Structure 1
Amino acid sequence: MAPSTNPASMSTARSESSRLIDNGFVRVTGAFAIGVGLVLLAIAFSVGKEAVPAMQKFGLGFLVTSRWSVNDEVFGALTQIYGTIVTSLIALLIAIPIGVGVALFLSEDYLPDRVKQPIVFLIELLAAIPSVVYGLWGIFVLIPLLRPFGIWLNSTFGWFPLFSTAPAGPGIYAAGIILSIMILPIIAAISRDALVAVPSELRQAAYGLGATRWEAIFQVILPAAFSGIVGGIMLALGRAMGETMAVTMVIGNSNTVNVSLLAQGSTVASLLANQFAEASGLQVASLLYAAFILFGLTLIVNVLAEFIVRRFSLKL
């Protein structure tokens, strides 16, 4: 005689096993999340620990001093901090409107899928190009292409501080444009995903209320995807602030603070790339102090982005 089965007991067994699997999954993912935070803290601690000698000697004056003399052991990162911020802002000013515009064009039904998909692939392919290739392209193509425009800006608007320096080839403006190309696929791809994720019901409701396509985009779709777009912009900004090789090759690596965008400059990442291999003693601590400052800048940017997203969400 075949043994009888109890459906209630089978259901109970399945629910208990499912519960165990769910609890295990929660614990594992929680451990991964905590692990990421611990790795972040470990990196900050190790960099900060090695930078203590420079912190003790220079203090906050390191942030407002531009002199960097290895022989005299006098170091200041004002030039590099200024160059990092300015080049990143130039990149964002160029990449945000283009990237969000491309994302809107690809998320709306302007093109058939057989045309849209290759364009999406090519945009995302830009993110896979090595930074040294961008640097070489900047040296041999972009800088010669921009030089006549830079000369025209200096000769026409030289009275304005931002264009007061005659371009010598490499410079802050070239680094900013290179960075804008490098971060463009990040902004475009993440913004497109955020726009595609907007429920179609919102679009249909806007059209049902008599809104035009552009009114629906700017008053409904973009606000609904705002947090995702800001997240993509912040990821792109982190890439721009930490980019090393391409910027080192096109910025000129001058240790002078100059308001002019046509002048040569330096960034924290390019400073580390140029000097860390041959550094010793207090110079190593100063370089790690600069790296710790860059770490803090990226943290501040992400905190501000989270604050902006939350404030905007509350208004919605």
Structure 2
Amino acid sequence: MSELHGRALTELRGQVVPGADAAEPRRRLRSSGGPADRIFRGAARGSGTLVLLTMLLVGVFLSWQAWLALREAGWGFLTTAAWEPDAGRFGIAAVLTGTVLIGLTAIAFAVPLALGTALYISEYAPPRLRRTLISLVDLMAAVPSIVYGVWGAFFLQSHMTGPARWISTYFSWIPLFEVDGADPGDPLATATVYTSSTFIAGMVVSLMVTPIACSVMREAFSQAPVGEREGALALGATRWGMIRSVVLPYGRGGVIGGTMLGLGRALGETIAVYMIISPVFAVQWHVLQNGTNSVSALIALRYGSASELGISALMAAGLALFLLTLVVNFVASSITARSRAGAGAEA
């Protein structure tokens, strides 16, 4: 009798006595929603499944087409620099190295530019000017890559040989900035050793990835809590102090996500790089020196005249680039998700 009385009091008070309902299964609250909710849920689920299925099919297709070349080359495909499929000597050591160096050079220029632009738009620009700047940044992302390539080949290249010569003269003790065959003491030495280099190609690609990185960073910065902003200012912080203590830590995920997203775009850039570089099939670590290569430029250069084995080798190179960009994007997603602004940056 006392147990029934106690259970009744518990139900009336809305409390749960430990062990009283242990035998009863817990019920899950579910919201069925209306027809619109079910349609939207099905459409979202179908879209996500379609994207994953498409990526899987792309990977399967590249693997199938690349099997002939991978079976012929074996593990030497990753360590061979030459590209002579008809002679049985081919590999991606040179083009993969050039791809990574061009991407890293582009990110080295793009991240400071994107970070400064994003901070100015979100924190300093007047509201009317802010809308104009956002539109201009978005328009930069819509410019075709061949336009950047033409601009880089016919304008930027001739104007960047001087800075490249200066860097090589004073920083050639760093192996990355050394240029073979250059004489820093000869002012009349030819400048062709500094053209068509990783440095120039990376600068052009950096302008192409800056709008993407800037957009992600700006969205992350704009979602910093207003209360924390006002609290920092109320405690006497300057505008830059508030940005440094509130906005930048909150937008760390956006900065990392935008950087990695830009790197993924830079690794796969084709036309602009193809128009600027002088293709060489040797591992070229000197970023200021003439001659480099990339996986995408190799495919564009050799696809039209390749044999059956050559096509398979190009597919294998494309598979390597596909896996590399997947790894970069997965790393970016994991880092962004762990950060404070991860959810906002992904949105």
Compute the TM-score of the two structures, normalised by the length of structure 1.
Answer: 0.88
Is 1:42 the counterpart of 2:69 in the alignment? no
Structure 1 residue 255 corresponds to structure 2 residue 269: no
Aligned-residue CA RMSD in angstroms? 2.1
In 1, distance between residues paired with 2:245 and 2:143?
Answer: 36
Residues in 2 aligned to 1:176 and 1:21: alpha-carbon distance in whole angstroms? 47
The corresponding residue for 1:223 is 249
The match for 1:203 among 229, 237, 243 is 229
Aligned residue among 170, 175, 183 for 1:161: 175
The match for 2:220 among 194, 203, 228 is 194
How much has 1:17 moved relative to structure 2? 9.4
Moved more, 215-224 or 282-291: 215-224
Task: Work out whether residues 73 and 88 of structure 2, in 8 Å CA contact, stay in contact via their aligned partners in 1.
Answer: no
Give the AA of the match of 2:48: A
Question: Would you say 1:81 and 2:108 are equivalent positions?
Answer: no
Structure 1 residue 119, shift from structure 2 partner: 2.6
Return the match for 1:23 from 38, 51, 68.
38
Q: Which moved more, 1:17-26 or 1:168-177?
A: 17-26
Distance 1:62-1:180 versus aligned 2 partners, 3 A rule: same
Contact residue 143 and residue 169 of structure 1 kept, 8 A: yes
| Residue 128, structure 1, aligned to residue 142, structure 2 | yes
Aligned to 1:140: 154
Q: Give the Cα–Cα distance (whole angstroms) in 2 for the partners of residues 49 and 127 of structure 1.
A: 34
Give the fraction of aligned pairs with identical amino acids, expressed as a percent.
Answer: 36
CA distance, structure 2, for counterparts of residue 97 and residue 54 of structure 1: 41
List per-residue Cα deviations over 1:142-189 (Å, max 9, x = no partner): 110011222233334334322222424111101110111111111112
Instruction: Identify the residue that residue 205 of structure 2 maps to in structure 1.
Output: 179
Q: 1:299 aligns with which of 311, 314, 326?
A: 326
Tell me the amino acid that sits aligned with residue 202 of structure 1.
Answer: E
Q: Which residue of 1 aligns with 2:87?
A: 72
Q: What is the aligned partner in structure 1 of residue 298 from structure 2?
A: 271
SS in 2 for 1:261: coil
Distance 1:291 1:198 in 2: 40
Offset at residue 113 of structure 1 (A) = 2.7
Can you give the 5+ residue segments of structure 2 that lack an aligned partner in the other structure? 1-30, 183-192, 342-347
- Give the paired residue count: 299
> What is the match of residue 130 of structure 2?
116
Following superposition, the deviation at residue 114 of structure 1 comes to 3.0
C-alpha displacement of 1:300? 1.2
Instruction: Tell me the amino acid that sits aligned with residue 234 of structure 2.
Output: G
Q: Give SS of 2:230's match.
A: helix
For structure 1, the residue ranges without an aligned partner over 5 or more in a row are 1-15
| SS of aligned partner of 1:266 | coil
Where does residue 280 of structure 1 map in the other structure?
Answer: 307
Matching residue's letter, 2:130: K
Inter-CA distance 147–117: structure 2 relative to 1 (3 Å threshold): same
Larger Rg belongs to:
2
* Structure showing the higher helix proportion among its residues: 1
Who is 2:240 aligned against? Answer: 214
**What amino acid is aligned across from residue 257 of structure 1 in structure 2?**
V
User: Per-residue CA shift, 1:11-33, capped at 9, x if unaligned?
Assistant: xxxxx995232122212211111
Q: Counterparts of 2:214 and 2:102 in 1: how far apart (Å)?
A: 19
